[in-house]
């Protein structure tokens, strides 16, 4: 939706989420992939670098992705409800919209960055459509069921490890702590040209869209989308509750979530980040804590949104939210230019303590350019293109009134 139909609180939440996910994604852009899940596997991990990782992990790992997933679920209801109110076939439009998102995601993953989430969102969004008319309590029960599946899988894998073939154990350990030759190969490939990067990008993208998807992200994202649908039906995510409600939501969410995530950090350090513990059981604390922190952040943002204060913050991040699709891809273009060989070639050479400075720099660029863009145009370029493809008509992009 555009213009007067937009819900400012959703735009603001979406803008905060799209900015926040870069805090973790920057590690995937800048370092060998294993460093994202095992911070001890690559680079200096002492002093300020260690504290930077701890800060980033507690603040962002899984948290902003959770917000974005909840908003996507709410967006399914908003989109289909709007279509039905205009007498349009919501099913046709929704599935056409998701198929185009799937294509965008595949292009993003295989041509630019293997860490794409759009493919997962499109596939989960297709299934979410079937839940759009369900009651909130039913949505919450289904969300809980989906959410528990990756935990059950990880517990089973950890329990069954003593029965694995030796070759499987050795391969898993090598994936958790790659040898020097493996690391050097990744560095050489991503510091090389765009075509050479395909050697690693294509298999990594396939693995993300198969193994990681079916064992983890599908279940997690589905749970969060269904939760977002319930929160929308309860008028929570749109800012319709009282200040006291959002204050309690913030305090309980952040208190519970940070406690769980911090406990996981401490136990993983105590276990020396060994594959036998940290790969499966060690990730459970943050997995549980992330949705709680996401709800806490949501409550905090809605408190700000409803207060009428911090107007510059609201305007700036609401603009990011209006153009979240374009800015998500823009983050990829900026970061791959900085770190990959077809750009500055800094892959693997920037310490963690400096990555947050790059994140802030990207935020500033995006806030400035998005603000300038929206002075002239109604939507982000990709939002406009996606909408036109969905409705099979060309919408007006210039920021002047029309009848659409």
Q: Please give the share of the chain, as a percent, with pLDDT higher than 90.
A: 96
104's tokens: 């965008």
Residue 24 has pLDDT above 70, yes or no: yes
pLDDT of residue 401: 58
- Split at pLDDT 50, 70, 90, the class of 7 is confident
pTM of the model: 0.94
Asked whether the predicted pLDDT for residue 1 surpasses 60, the reply is no
DSSP string, 90-115: HHHHHHHHHHHHHHHHHHHHHHT-TT
Calculate mean pLDDT across residues 25-46: 95
Q: What is the pLDDT of residues 86-132, one digit of tens each?
A: 999 999 999 999 999 999 999 999 999 999 999 999 999 999 999 99
Percentages of the chain per state (helix, strand, coil), in multiples of 5: 80, 0, 20
- Evaluate if residue 73 carries a pLDDT over 60: yes
Q: Which of 121, 119, 88 is nearest to 104 (CA)?
A: 119
The reported pLDDT for the residue numbered 308 is 84
Average pLDDT in the chain: 95
Phi, psi values for residue 237, rounded to 5°: -75, -15
Nearest alpha carbon to residue 225 among 152, 321, 291, 150: 291
Give residue 317's pLDDT: 96
The CA angle 250-252-257, to the nearest 5 degrees, is: 95
Distance between CA atoms of residues 374 and 320, nearest Å: 10
For residue 4, what pLDDT band results from cuts at 50, 70 and 90? very low
Task: Give mean pLDDT, residues 383-400.
Answer: 93
Q: CB neighbours (10 Å) of residue 364?
A: 10
Name the nearest CA neighbour of 176 among 268, 51, 259: 268
Please state, for a pLDDT cut of 70, what percent of the chain lies above it: 98
What does 120-151 look like in DSSP terms, one character per residue? HHHHHHHHHGGGTTS-HHHHHHHHHHHHHHHH
Residue 331 CB-density burial (10 A; 0-12 exposed, 13-18 middle, 19+ buried): buried
Count the helices and strands in the chain (H runs, E runs): 18, 0
Distance separating alpha carbons of residues 224 and 67, to the nearest angstrom: 8
CA distance 334 to 343: 9
Exposure string over 67-80, b if 16+ CB within 10 A, otherwise e:
bbbbbbbbbbbbbb
Using the predicted structure, report yes or no on whether residue 400 has a pLDDT greater than 80.
no
pLDDT tens column, 268-319? 999 999 999 999 999 999 999 999 999 999 999 999 999 989 999 999 999 9
């Amino acid at each position: 939706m555009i213009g007067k139909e937009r819900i400012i609180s959703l735009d603001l939440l979406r803008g905060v989420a799209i900015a926040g996910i870069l805090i973790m994604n920057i590690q995937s852009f800048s370092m060998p992939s294993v460093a994202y899940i095992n911070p001890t596997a690559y680079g200096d991990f002492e002093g300020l670098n260690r504290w930077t990782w701890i800060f980033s992990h507690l603040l962002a790992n899984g948290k902003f992705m959770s917000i974005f997933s909840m908003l996507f679920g709410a967006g399914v209801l908003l989109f289909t409800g709007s279509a039905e109110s205009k007498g349009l076939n919501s099913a046709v439009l929704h599935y056409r919209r998701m198929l185009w998102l799937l294509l965008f995601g595949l292009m993003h993953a295989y041509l630019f960055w293997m860490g794409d989430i759009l493919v997962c969102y499109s596939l989960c969004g297709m299934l979410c459509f079937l839940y759009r008319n369900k009651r909130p309590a039913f949505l919450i029960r289904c969300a809980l069921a989906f959410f528990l599946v990756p935990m059950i899988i990880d517990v089973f894998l950890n329990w069954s490890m003593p029965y694995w073939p030796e070759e499987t154990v050795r391969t898993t350990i090598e994936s958790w702590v790659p040898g020097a030759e493996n690391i050097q190969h990744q560095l050489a490939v991503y510091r090389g040209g765009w075509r050479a990067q395909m050697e690693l990008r294509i298999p990594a993208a396939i693995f993300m869209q198969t193994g990681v998807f079916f064992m983890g992200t599908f279940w997690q994202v589905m749970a969060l989308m269904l939760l977002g649908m319930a929160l929308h039906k309860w008028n929570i995510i749109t800012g319709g509750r009282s200040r006291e409600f959002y204050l309690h939501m913030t305090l309980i969410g952040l208190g519970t979530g940070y406690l769980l995530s911090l406990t996981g950090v401490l136990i993983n350090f105590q276990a020396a980040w060994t594959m036998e513990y940290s790969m499966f059981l060690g990730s459970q604390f943050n997995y549980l804590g992330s949705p709680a922190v996401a709800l806490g952040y949501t409550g905090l943002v809605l408190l700000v949104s409803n207060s009428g204060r911090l107007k510059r913050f609201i305007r700036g991040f609401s603009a990011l939210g209006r153009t979240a699709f374009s800015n998500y891809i823009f983050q990829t273009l900026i970061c791959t230019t900085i770190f990959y060989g077809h750009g500055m070639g800094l892959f693997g050479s920037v310490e963690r303590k400096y990555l947050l400075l790059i994140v802030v720099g990207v935020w500033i660029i995006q806030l400035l350019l998005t603000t300038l863009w929206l002075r002239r145009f109604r939507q982000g370029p990709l939002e406009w293109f996606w909408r036109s493809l969905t409705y099979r008509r060309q919408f007006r992009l210039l920021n002047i009134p029309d009848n659409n």
